[in-house]
Amino acid sequence: MKPKSTLFRAAEHAASYLDGLSTHPVGATTTADDLRQRLALALPETGTDPARVIDDLVEQTRGGHLGSAGGRFFAWVIGGALPSALAADWLTSTWDNNAALYACGPAAAVVEEVAGSWVKQLLGLPMNASFAFTTGCQMAHVTCLAAARHSILRDVGWDVEADGLQGAPSIRVIASEHCHGSIERAVRFLGLGKNSIVALATGADARVRPDTLEASLVKGEPTLVVLDAADLNVGAIDPFDELIPIAKAHGAWVHIDGAFGLWARASKHAPRLAGVELADSWATDAHKWLNTPKDNGIAIIRDSSAHRAAMSVSAAYLSSLGGVRDQIDWTPDWTRRARGFAIYAAIRELGRDGIADLVERCCRFAEELANGFASIPGVELVAAPTLNQALVRFIHPDPCANVNEQDGWNDKIIDALNREGTAFFSGSRWTGLRVMRISVVNWQTTSDDVVKRLEAAKRVIETERGNAIVPRPA
């Protein structure tokens, strides 16, 4: 076997795929049954040449990849991969160190130290806070909330790491009615139970109101407050400078869900997140707006002692060296990928100015897309972008259509737009109605992408409305 020739072959396939991102259909063009038919071979009894395996894998999965790595993907908040970050990720697999201990990968440990410091500087968060690079925001939430659980229960005299949760005081989790599902999962994973969550009604702007938060708090009661740095539908950012002091006055731990919106701190939009630095923990993703390959989440925690107590482990065969950082003390993983290389590379490639430009560019394109859709007959702007997220709704040609028919029409148009192939969007539900989300986070999106996607959308919508059968009044 010649690993070098196989890697070169894989690089050729990768380059070909990347070259086609701007022209190939963005949505998948095959079905699950087709993919199973191609991939579900009998268990091999003998080996195959590695280059042949790679060639076959490319052919067997052709048409089954979503073009989310490219600049024409506007559905979920999924970023692409900057060239240096993608290349660094390839090298991470090549070096293949277990980035759990400094002893297992000295370079991986040190690059995480540096990259973590850079991230805190970019986001304007406390430099003495601890951090962890995780699989994504889901596990960043778990990491942050595990530290919160430790601290909250420690303050009432309970050692959760030693004694578990049986008999422990209960913790209330207060969050927006629009909080992401990953918060509920994190709460369940940590044994707090989804019934511990108190959902706060928000105002018309989808933000938590100070008076609503204050009314939900009881001083001295173990409490965790979760606030949003941009919700996934309309990009709503809670008023941190008002809410966090209220929560702190009641002794609550404040956690920020900033999966993508926290990166606005690195741009001219930073004032919109004023006060976010007052929180106790923050979770975000590098694989969204920083555009590193997946998977790459980030947890940042003010109380490093609570963080370490919740995560660290001791075993006779683990040797810890003085003066170095063992990542196993800060993350939920034992064996783990060296995610710091991609983050380090991405920040070096863009620099502070480049990251600001990326964020601001995406916000501008989201506004152009939203306004462009709103100018098309039969399209209603439901939520104008305040950051990089917007919502539009497609109005049924029949003015007498009921809610179910209206929702069905909305999904029909989204499906038609995606089948057209030059862009990809996703549906959502807002204020009880089906809508289409617009999300822009990819470094490759251009003004030309926006203009051409709107032209294509106008044609699709006009065609669908022209083909619609609308009953005539009797």
Partner residues linked to 256 by β-bridges: 227, 282
- pLDDT (tens digit per residue) in 97-126: 999 999 999 999 999 999 999 999 999 999
Q: How far apart are the first and last CA of the chain?
A: 76
As a dihedral over the C-alpha atoms of residue 448, residue 449, residue 451, residue 452, rounded to 10 degrees, the angle is 110
* pLDDT average, residue stretch 356-375: 98
- Phi then psi for residue 276, to 5 deg, are -65, -25
The whole-number pLDDT of residue 3 equals 75
Q: What percent of the chain has pLDDT over 70?
A: 97
Measured CA to CA, the distance from residue 398 to residue 415 in angstroms comes to 19
pLDDT of residue 4: 87
**Who's near 373: CB < 8 A, 6+ residues apart?**
379, 381, 392, 438, 454, 457
Alpha carbons within 13 angstroms on the beta-carbon side of residue 461 total: 24
Question: Could you tell me the pTM of the whole model?
Answer: 0.96
Q: pLDDT band for position 219 (50/70/90)?
A: confident
Residues above pLDDT 90, as percent of the chain: 95
Q: Could you tell me the pLDDT band of residue 140, with boundaries at 50, 70 and 90?
A: very high
- Residue 319 to residue 326: CA distance in whole angstroms: 10
Write down the mean pLDDT value for the chain.
96
- Based on its alpha-carbon atoms, the radius of gyration of the chain, rounded to whole angstroms, reads 24
